[in-house]
Amino acid sequence: MYLSDRWLDYELLDAGDGDKLERWGDVILQRPDPQAIWPHGHWQKPDARYIRSTAGGGHWQVNRSHPRQWVIQYPGIQAPLSFVIEPTGFKHTGLFPEQAANWDYCTERIVTARLAGREVRILNLFAYTGAASVACSAAGATEVVHVDASKGMNARARENLAESGLQDRLVRCLADDVQKFVEREIRRGRTYEGIIMDPPSYGRGPAGELWKLEDALYGLIEKTSQLLSDQPLFFLVNSYTTGLAPLVLRDILGLVIRPRFGGRVEAEELGLPATQRELILPCGATGRWEP
């Protein structure tokens, strides 16, 4: 399991009864988590709790006033990374803290390549608010191309870059359909040393067709792998789809990338350790290929 256990400003306090209790800086939030099926312990009253509606969606029940948004830091390997936190109407905060293990993984490989004098271009697909883009830029990537269909998410990514002092680095935040973008990059002959993708479980394709991860993932990885340079550093795929085992990601990466480049593939669950009880909350899976 890949553990994200280097946080200082974030803390998973406990989880259970379908919820998790988290500290984001000085703010305590309680949010739903379908993996936490065991009973929870004795919890302090959170500053805010997200309550699902039987009709869909939900709302935040605020118990103590707190900022509408605030900034937390992650102690990155090269430099501290700063992220804007803002609870949304869909229970999210703008950051997935379990991904810190992947930020560290990418950072280590980029730093090693840059010390060897190599150019490093990174492609981050389904990039959300850009935490991985921030980490790769801070690690010294020559260029980061950040692609997400949401203009709002791209705007938050630029804020995160600025909060981390990286506003002058070469990071292109593009609002685009990922599949269309990848096809255009192939035609342009563009290549990247590192590729990151975090596709959603469900979505809509360019023509409005239903996009289901299990049906589309192999083809998406196969096509995107054509953008790897002749000396790639890594290809990383993340999935939150509950029924998709880590071995599936390992097998796809092995079938698609290893015949061309050789190398090593591994895949594990991502996990967040709780601090108030001895448990680890599973948070999806990640597959990694490296030469």
Would the pTM count as exceeding 0.85? yes
Q: What is the pLDDT of residue 207?
A: 62
Q: What is the pLDDT of residue 209?
A: 63
Q: What is the pLDDT of residue 270?
A: 97
Q: What is the pLDDT of residue 41?
A: 85
Q: What is the dihedral of CA 65, 67, 71, 75, to 10 degrees?
A: 0
Q: What is the pLDDT of residue 214?
A: 84
pLDDT tens figures, 240-253:
877 789 999 999 99
pLDDT by 10-residue block (mean), the chain, 291 residues = 98 98 98 95 94 88 96 96 96 97 98 97 98 98 97 97 97 96 98 96 67 87 98 96 89 98 98 97 97 97
pLDDT tens figures, 44-66:
999 999 999 877 789 999 999 99
Q: Is the CB of residue 130 less than 8 Å from the CB of residue 81?
A: no
| Token digits of residue 252 | 């796809």
Buried b (16+ CB within 10 A) or exposed e, 63-96: eeebeeeeebbbebbebebbbbbebeeebebbbb
Tell me the sheet residues that pair with 175.
148
Can you give the three-state secondary structure of the chain, one letter per residue?
CEECCCCCCEEEEEEECCEEEEEECCEEEEEECCCCCCCCCCCCCCCEEEEECCCCCEEEEECCCCCCCEEEEECCCCCCEEEEECCCCCCCCCCCHHHHHHHHHHHHHHHHHHHCCCCCEEEEECCCCCHHHHHHHHCCCCEEEEEECCHHHHHHHHHHHHHCCCCCCCEEEEECCHHHHHHHHHHHCCCECEEEECCCCEEECCCCCEEEHHHHHHHHHHHHHHHECCCCCEEEEEECCCCCCHHHHHHHHHHHCHHHHCCEEEEEEEEEECCCCCCEEEEEEEEEEEC
Q: What is the pLDDT of residue 230?
A: 97
| Token digits of residue 135 | 């980490």
Q: What is the pLDDT of residue 213?
A: 81
